[in-house]
Amino acid sequence: MISDRPAAGSDIEARPRPRVGFDRVRAFPWSNVEARALQAATCVVVVATVAATLFHAWYAIASGCYVNYVSGVWLALARDLSHGTFYRDLVSDAGYGGTRYFPLFFSLIALLLRAGVAPLAAGQAVSVGSAVLLAIGLIFLLYRVVRVAPAMVALLTTFALAPYFLQQTVFAIRCDILAVALNVCGLAAVFRSHRERVTAWLAVAALFFTLALATKVTSVYGVATALITLALARRWRQATWLLLLTGTGFAVCLVSVDWLSSGRVFESFRVCALGGSTLAGTVRNAFSASMRLAPVGGSRTLTAVLATATLAWGLQLRAGWRQMPTVLFAVTCAMTMLVLGSPGTVPVNQVADVHVASVVVIGACLRDRARIRTAAVAVVLALMLVAAYQDVGRVTRQRLGVLAHTLPAERRDLLAIIGSEPVLAECPEFPVMAGRTPYVLDPFALRLLLMQRPDALAALERRVDAHAFAHVLLLEDPESPRGRGWYEYEHLGWPLVATIMRNYHHETTVAGVRVYTPNP
């Protein structure tokens, strides 16, 4: 049995169970008018935030407004797997493969597809289930590990799920929320293991961390945080066990994926993993990418959350620099900046990791600092109100109520147009919704592949010249400056698009997709 003694002052030593309410100490007794007002305000804000989240979720799922080509890649991978193909060949008679996505998320979707669930419904079900797992893991982590009082746990968990950028990631069918949830559960298991059944809990934690890496290989911040915190607490045996168990689990995962794909997966990763850049270039880009953490779309909610979390982190550094929340925030920010340095990475879904880490470090600060607790809770409540307002505002400004009726109908019209004829689609979700295998799995990966394989480009250009496709579906106008840049640096590659423009003309635009048909 592992029995390392935790270092004094570490996050791992036993803490007294918090009282019900906001205060672990008697700083704001419930007889105090201020505390009662704070409790009432918290209840109102939590209820309002949950209502706004459900309102946003209803219309986002009904309209499918956040589903895009990235969602289509996940759905296409799931469809391939449901039909017995685990990572298709880069070039084959069925079309073009290539992706840098890891398998757990689309494997879960494939299970639902095999059960007869429609593609969009299957993707949404796995995404929403990931959000539920995140909430459960965060409750466990905040209450049993960080030792936050129950009322504050409810507040912070709601706050973690409130911002629109996190909800947009859920409804867009992305793997990021599942990876965050598995990392949170892994951290909860590691630091739950300080009293009894240590080895068993470390094995559970290693399983969670392995599954997180099998979902999104860049989400190493969870196991890195656990190892650093254990090392700072001088729990060397547990750190060694966790490293060995997680490393073994991930190695078994890689070997299994390679075997099941007959070696196709590593060929795909070799072409696509760094987005056409190099490891050194990715590291250099990480510094400029740090500026992309704050402005997500038109919202400054994440900017305010990061500022609040940075302040809380600074307050924790003096006395709690060895504690898990402090380490988690620093490691997650560093890892997120590195990920954003890779070409083709979208900030909106990547910031889910750092947002959840921000919530955890804010919770630790609220636990330890009774003097500023009222002001800090007021700041969190204000941020939650802003997030709730943005959720409702996106429904009204983006006319999601109208789109819930019109967008599914337009998608049905588009599916009727393409019918059962061969189609070259930049957006693979539409062939999947039509019950067909997309000819191009990932338009971003295709550009990288065609840059490295002139023979593949020549073969595809010959098919385009021969009008082998009844329709070509594009997301941007290649004749506009934006479209030219998009196809030159992001999707498909300009040589292929130029060939398409010589042989096809724009026929109509349906559901935001430009439909091209062959020239006479």
Residue 214 confidence (pLDDT): 92
Q: 182 and 48, same structural domain?
A: yes
pTM here is 0.85
Q: 144 and 233, same structural domain?
A: yes
Highest mean pLDDT among 9-18, 373-382, 502-511: 502-511
Kindly tell me if the per-residue pLDDT of 31 is higher than 50.
no
Given 363, 382, 397, the domain boundary residue is: 397
Q: 467 and 450, same structural domain?
A: yes
In terms of Cβ atoms closer than 10 Å to its own Cβ (0-12, 13-18, 19+), residue 463 is middle
Given 397, 430, 449, the domain boundary residue is: 397
- DSSP designation for 18: P
pLDDT range class, residue 194, cuts 50, 70, 90:
low
Look at residue 24 and tell me if it is in a domain: no
Pairing relationship of beta strands 513-518 and 91-92 according to DSSP bridges: unpaired
pLDDT range class, residue 17, cuts 50, 70, 90:
very low
Higher pLDDT: 284 or 302? It is: 302
Give 352's Cβ-side CA count (13 Å radius): 29
Q: 198 and 143, same structural domain?
A: yes
Look at residue 8 and tell me if it is in a domain: no
Look at residue 425 and tell me if it is in a domain: yes
Where in the sequence is the domain holding 487, given as residue range(s)? Answer: 400-518
Residue 35 confidence (pLDDT): 64
Cα 214 from Cα 257, distance rounded (Å): 10
Q: 436 and 326, same structural domain?
A: no
Look at residue 16 and tell me if it is in a domain: no
Pairing relationship of beta strands 423-425 and 504-510 according to DSSP bridges: unpaired
Q: 411 and 384, same structural domain?
A: no
Q: 153 and 299, same structural domain?
A: yes
Kindly tell me if the per-residue pLDDT of 258 is higher than 50.
yes
Look at residue 84 and tell me if it is in a domain: no
Q: 349 and 413, same structural domain?
A: no
Residue 269 confidence (pLDDT): 81
Residue 289 confidence (pLDDT): 53
Q: 387 and 324, same structural domain?
A: yes
Cα 466 from Cα 121, distance rounded (Å): 37
Q: 275 and 187, same structural domain?
A: yes
pLDDT range class, residue 16, cuts 50, 70, 90:
very low
**143 contact partners, CB below 8 Å, separation of at least 6:** 150, 153
Cα 326 from Cα 357, distance rounded (Å): 9
H/E run at residue 424: strand 423-425
Given 380, 397, 414, the domain boundary residue is: 397
Look at residue 93 and tell me if it is in a domain: no
Are the beta carbons of 377 and 38 closer than 8 angstroms?
yes
Residue 341 confidence (pLDDT): 60
> Could you give the number of structural domains in the chain?
2
Look at residue 18 and tell me if it is in a domain: no
Q: 386 and 405, same structural domain?
A: no
pLDDT range class, residue 310, cuts 50, 70, 90:
confident
Cα 185 from Cα 138, distance rounded (Å): 7
Q: 418 and 358, same structural domain?
A: no
What's the N-to-C CA distance of the chain in angstroms? 77
Look at residue 87 and tell me if it is in a domain: no
